[in-house]
A and B are shown apart, each in its own frame.
Chain A
């Protein structure tokens, strides 16, 4: 589904002394079946942006089109079920999305809510828990008696179980160990290859470079840049103004540039970096 933000502004506590701007006149298209990364500093508006997509919050002004659904300031909380079936979201803090008394029930909730039979949902829970790297023995545990990274995995399993077309991930790998992070990122990439749209908020620029096809930079409640990671990470203006940080490969290349190496375009993945180095060392 194509997602289109048109002049979207969101004020928190509008018309009160505490009023704060979460999004400021944002227009943006997020493309169907692509892997899009959303980056930006702490408090820049990333979570605010994505919460509009499944109407967890409504715009103060402007509209968001999600496929043929339109979300406006007037959208009420009725009839959102079909939207939420199509747009799954893993929250920034997984605990806030866990609520059943067992992991199994928690994962089954979404699918059953959207019409799956109990026995199919049970099967799905078994599959999902393994997909996120936990054993079946976790199904009978309370989701609150888990470690932080285990809770994260259960929250991801719960969202994937409903098989949404569009998957929004708000810093889904925070708290995962590095091996788990790679497995889970590969899992998202595979889901995209199977035709899902993936929207990933992250502070990990290596993950952006390795997995995303498109990239959106948010700064001070506004969209500052949209494009391919390779182009955005080579945008000098964004970098000098401290709006964006680079993947580790690009930082490494910058350091080599001070030592007689030259990179017309900064490499953003480790394979690009090492290929360039080899070429320049061998002089061919």
Chain B
């Protein structure tokens, strides 16, 4: 597998802070991978995203993106490959209207005018916001803002997408639609997805879960191995997957196999027990 992001021994301390927000952290991310980054509030997730995009500069260590070191010289080249959906969509908006806003990233890429109109339309349709083209993004509802922020990033077809809790205010069906869309784009366009999230259900979509604590990587494994940690997950501020919560309550009275069962497996097991009766 080809590394697309390689972070080595990176430390970052905010001005006027005593403790580093990122502490001697190393992490590799592979092309076309979907990685979830999880951890308690303040564990360093957003800071890590900003370091990868060169929005802040590490005090030690190195970050490589697609073979180039993140530094002043390469910064524009690197940023053209990365699309970040920020945690607060208000930080994302630059345009006075929704369509201007989505067009902004395309303009920066030098996309010709006539193509741009179509691509803006396409991106807004993908997130079901085509009817809001002429609205001021600041006047949208919370979930509508998040949709437009996502459209703005998808429109530029970056090779790496970093989503910083970017579906946190969508309704459950809307969230599912957007995640399915991202999954589809990832498969079709060879994108790499880094998703910062507190939603344990969402992490099932990823190949790997990286757990941060106090600016350090404390666990890094495929979802099943992480879910196998069971109630230990709460130590890292995480929730147990729903099927594990159900299983542990059922075990008091019903015999179930050890280890993590996903929802289908758990239902299968419960069904077998009941049909024996």
Contact = CB atoms under 8 A, between A and B. Distances in A.
A281 B170 contact: no
Nearest to A178: B239
Interface stretch (B36-44, B113-121, B183-191): B36-44
B141 interface: yes
A158 B183 CA distance: 39
A245 B40 contact: no
A152 B200 CA distance: 20
Contacts of B242: 248, 252, 270
A202 to B, nearest CB: 10
A245 B171 contact: yes
Contacts of A18: 134-135
Nearest to A261: B274
Given A18-B135, A177-B238, A43 B143 contact: yes
Contacts of A210: none
Contact of B41 (A42, A149, A255): A149
Interface stretch (A59-67, A168-176, A226-234): A168-176
A145 B16 contact: yes
Contact of A256 (B41, B142, B270): B270
A117 interface: no
A175 B14 contact: no
B234 interface: yes
Nearest to A22: B141
B171 to A, nearest CB: 5
Contacts of B94: none
A210 to B, nearest CB: 12
Nearest to B147: A42
A177 B46 contact: no
A281 to B, nearest CB: 5
Contacts of B165: 148, 174-175
A255 B239 CA distance: 22
Interface in A123-148: 145-148
Interface stretch (B57-65, B220-228, B245-253): B245-253
A260 B169 contact: no
A263 interface: no
Contacts of B253: 278, 282
Interface in B120-178: 134-135, 139-144, 147, 165, 168-175
Nearest to A245: B172
B1 interface: no
Question: Considering residues B41, B174, B237, which has the most beta carbons from chain A within 10 angstroms of its beta carbon?
Answer: B41
A147 B147 contact: no
B185 to A, nearest CB: 21
A205 B175 CA distance: 14
A271 interface: yes
A278 B254 contact: yes
A92 interface: yes
B90 A93 contact: yes
Question: Considering residues A170, A174, A176, A180, which has the most beta carbons from chain B within 10 angstroms of its beta carbon?
Answer: A174
Contacts of B144: 42-43
A150 B41 contact: yes
Interface string A79-106: 0000000000000110110000000000
A18 B90 CA distance: 21
B169 A149 contact: no
Contacts of A42: 141-144, 147, 169-171, 174
Interface in A185-199: none
Interface in B191-242: 198, 200, 234, 237-239, 242
Interface in A235-259: 242, 245, 248-249, 252, 255-256, 259
Interface of B: 14, 16-17, 39-42, 45-46, 87-88, 90, 134-135, 139-144, 147, 165, 168-175, 198, 200, 234, 237-239, 242, 245-246, 249-250, 253-254, 263, 267, 270-271, 273-275, 277
23 contacts: A18-B135, A41-B171, A42-B143, A42-B144, A93-B88, A95-B90, A145-B16, A152-B41, A174-B168, A174-B169, A175-B168, A177-B39, A177-B238, A180-B41, A203-B172, A245-B171, A252-B267, A259-B267, A260-B274, A271-B249, A274-B249, A280-B274, A283-B277
Given A145-B17, A178-B237, 13 more contacts: A42-B144, A43-B141, A93-B142, A147-B42, A177-B198, A179-B40, A179-B234, A205-B172, A252-B263, A278-B250, A281-B254, A281-B274, A282-B253
